[in-house]
Chains A and B, each alone.
Chain A
Amino acid sequence: MVEKGRISGGQMALLLFVSTLGITVATIPYLAAKWAKQDMWLTPVPAAVSGLVAFFIAYFLHRRFPGETVIQCCPRIFGWFGKVIALVFLVTYIHANSLVIRIYADFVNGVFLRETPQVVVMGGMVLLCAAAVRGGLETVARATQFLALLTAGILGVVTLLSMPEWEMGNVLPILEHDLISVARGAAAPASWFNDFFLAAFLLPFVRKGDHAARWGVVGVVGSMLVLMLFHLIILFIVGNQSNKFLFPLFEAFRLISLSGFLEHVDAFLLAIWLFIIFVKISLMHYTIVLGAAQWLGLSDYKPLSLPIALILIAVAGWTVPNLTNLNQFFDGEFFVYNSLVQIVIPLALLAVAAIRGQKGKRGEEGGSWERDR
């Protein structure tokens, strides 16, 4: 097998949890508020349903083909055509990751480092992620664990500090518009919750007997709850301007001031977000690198890390002209495209495999999933 490392179920959940949060706190609340207005805090619920579906499709694929990623089981189901489908996954992930890198760079460039060339901002982060991925899955997981503690601490303190600014009345009236607008607002976060399908690349390496399914649910529900909390904080502080400011969470944290002696906490937000986005980019980068190695039938994926990182920087550079186009794309279109790749195609794979009664090599002798429950 290409990947030698093993992670625990908890580490898998943490990776997926942090990476989902990372991207959904950027411009996503703004898009959710555009449709759902003061009900924006409800949008993570339908989004999480989408995430749950994506995760369980990955899980059932894993049960049918234990020890194999989706890149490996595609050709097993569809033969040479499966190879083409696997390529679709790879290309989609390269595109999706370049969008993540682009959001990150647009935020840092637009807000903090206005004069730094964008390629330097992107390059610094992507090369770091490439180095982490080169260290293997265990390295990425450990780094996430270590930094998550720190981040949770800082985030907790900042949230407490923001409490004097809260105007809880801003959520009223609840559900003034119909549920359709909430569901529509959920399209943007849902397309990132779909990334729980990335579990298809992690599950083969989860230690046996680690209750992967249970951990997956914990990951989805955890992301949903924390995202709801963030949306509420935004709503409490920024109020009816949530759908006007492109980075509402940043705007909310910028307004924190503790009776004049503690201000400018937004710098903390950047520090935290840097870490979170690091996890997101690393995880997607790992998926691409591992998938590419498996697609090409290489014995090791590590040498691919750096070259693919360079491709990512290039793609991120030309993928969209500016933030307006990026948001426009995220607000709906991306959900359709993303669901097609991460839900519809895997569902088709699963259905065909079930009808044909195909199973992975170790599927019959009782692979990891047997002891999973």
Chain B
Amino acid sequence: MGAGPIKGGGKRALGLLLIASLLILPGCWDRKELNEIALIRAIGIDRAEDGQIEVSLLQAIPQRAEDAGGGEKTGGTQRVLTARSINIPEAKEKLQQMLGREIFTGHQEVVVFGERFARAGIGEALDYMARQPQVRLDAVVFVCDGSPKEIFTTIPLAEITASESLYKLARVEGYTEISVMRVLREVTGDGKSTVIPVVKKTGQKTLSLDGLALFRGERMVDHLDRKSKEALMWIRNEYTTGTVNARIRGEKGYVAMKVNRTKTELIPKLKGKKPRMIIRMTSENVLSYNGTGMNLYYPSNMDRIARAMESELQKRLRNTVEKVRRDRADAFGFAELFHREYPEKWARMKKDWNERLFPQMDVDIEVRVKLRWPGMTDK
């Protein structure tokens, strides 16, 4: 039979074949109808007092989301389920038994680790998430004070679900970059350390951010407050705003400025075997409050403020660097810079980087503040 035009019987056979192919082409085995799946928006993983793994899932209920504008129907747009077991898949299996629908994690955008779990090590959760093809690795990650279940059941007034609220919190602070993938990369990277934002319940209907959890390897080792968090993110060159208060020598009261933009240069140096890091930070700022009564008509006064801010920022960076060094967790990414700058020496350095070299190295901090704008008044 050649490849010529198809005639008569051949045509009919082809038609039958086309119809028959409809049986397999729509992919009936893997169809997913919206009313047969449980749409999971967030997963919480914690370690219970008895050492078991506690998994909480936040299920969004889409059809009710539309008429929830009033904000009164709390709990009507989401459901939180919790189960305990020896590991994550087993606990999830228990949760599956409670749901009439198949768990669908394709839209899971938030991952919350309980602090107890984080301190014991998040390796198990990372492995689980990296292994599942349906789990998205760009989900934002949090560590929570207390249990994830509490966080999930707290729906802030303006929001429909807790996951929505968590995602928005992350976006405001520039935390959306801190994804499962980034955590995976950093805990196995040169510095073997990372940071994850901390969230806690601060009221009946309020969730709030509370600095960063510092990880050495897969274990949480410390909690950095808001000021340290800002400093750490400035050093890492990750955009964050922030407000800095300072006193001026010889004046009463405070001045405050809003940090608009920062740029940090990190220069690794190696003298013999001793590493040294130069942190050179430049920030552009706007004066937001002047409680001292200084007249800003005079440029010299602007200068005095800028210098005071410089020493204030320097102090903050110094404190943060020392704190993180005491924890022996290089979350600044210094290790990577040394690796890139001195590849042939790195092989010998990497062994005791976090244990010895990073905590003992010299760190020089230079800060330059550019006060761009006094505000609308010169008072």
Contact = CB atoms under 8 A, between A and B. Distances in A.
A244 B130 contact: yes
Contacts of A251: 137
A358 interface: no
Interface in A144-196: 169, 172-173, 176
A121 to B, nearest CB: 10
B188 A241 contact: yes
A114 B105 CA distance: 14
A219 interface: no
Contact of B185 (A115, A139, A239, A302): A239
Interface string A243-271: 01100000100110100000010000000
A172 B190 CA distance: 12
B133 A302 contact: no
Interface in B158-201: 179, 181, 184-185, 188-189
A264 B109 CA distance: 12
Contacts of B344: 176
**Chain B: number of interface residues, binned into ranges:** 20 to 34
Interface residues of A, number: 32
B185 A240 contact: yes
Contact of B138 (A117, A176, A240, A257): A257
Given A240-B185, A241-B185, A241-B188, A303 B1 contact: yes
B189 A240 contact: yes
Given A110-B133, A117-B29, A244-B130, A176 B343 contact: yes
A112 interface: yes
A111 B137 CA distance: 14
A124 B185 contact: no
Contact of A255 (B25, B137, B188, B343): B137
B300 to A, nearest CB: 41
B340 A173 contact: yes
Contact of B25 (A112, A124, A134, A241): A124
Nearest to A256: B138
Interface in A74-116: 110-116
A245 B184 CA distance: 11
B136 interface: yes
A172 B340 CA distance: 6
B137 A169 contact: no
Nearest to B341: A173
Contacts of B133: 110-112, 114
A299 B336 CA distance: 64
A238 B138 CA distance: 11
A178 B336 CA distance: 20
A239 B182 CA distance: 9
Contact of B30 (A115, A135, A172, A300): A115
A222 interface: no
Nearest to B188: A240
Contacts of B2: 300, 302
B184 A241 contact: yes
Contacts of A300: 2
A244 B188 CA distance: 11
A116 B29 contact: yes
A367 interface: no
A317 interface: no
A254 B138 contact: yes
B3 interface: yes
Nearest to B342: A173
Nearest to B340: A172
A116 B27 contact: yes
Interface string B339-366: 1110110100000000000000000000
A254 B30 contact: no
Nearest to A252: B181
B188 A136 contact: no
A120 interface: yes
B355 to A, nearest CB: 21
Contacts of B336: 169
B3 A135 contact: yes
Interface string A121-152: 00010000000001110010000000000000
Contact of B137 (A116, A139, A240, A254): A254
Interface in B123-160: 130, 133, 136-138
Nearest to A300: B2
A300 B1 CA distance: 9
B24 interface: yes
Interface in A211-250: 238-241, 244-245
Contacts of B188: 240-241, 244
B130 A112 contact: no
Nearest to A127: B21
Given A110-B133, A136-B3, A254-B138, A241 B181 contact: yes
Contacts of B346: 176
A254 B27 contact: no
Contacts of A302: 1-3
Interface in A292-323: 300, 302-303
Contacts of A245: 130
Nearest to B138: A255
A115 B29 CA distance: 6
A117 B28 CA distance: 11
Interface in B1-36: 1-3, 24-25, 27, 29-30
Given A173-B343, A244-B130, A255 B30 contact: no
Given A134-B3, A255-B179, 11 more contacts: A112-B30, A114-B133, A115-B29, A120-B29, A173-B340, A239-B189, A241-B181, A241-B184, A254-B137, A257-B138, A303-B1
15 contacts: A110-B133, A112-B133, A114-B30, A114-B133, A120-B29, A139-B3, A173-B340, A238-B185, A239-B185, A240-B185, A240-B188, A244-B188, A254-B137, A255-B181, A302-B1
Interface of B: 1-3, 24-25, 27, 29-30, 106, 130, 133, 136-138, 179, 181, 184-185, 188-189, 336, 339-341, 343-344, 346
Nearest 6 CB-CB pairings of A with B: A173-B343, A116-B29, A172-B340, A115-B29, A176-B343, A111-B133
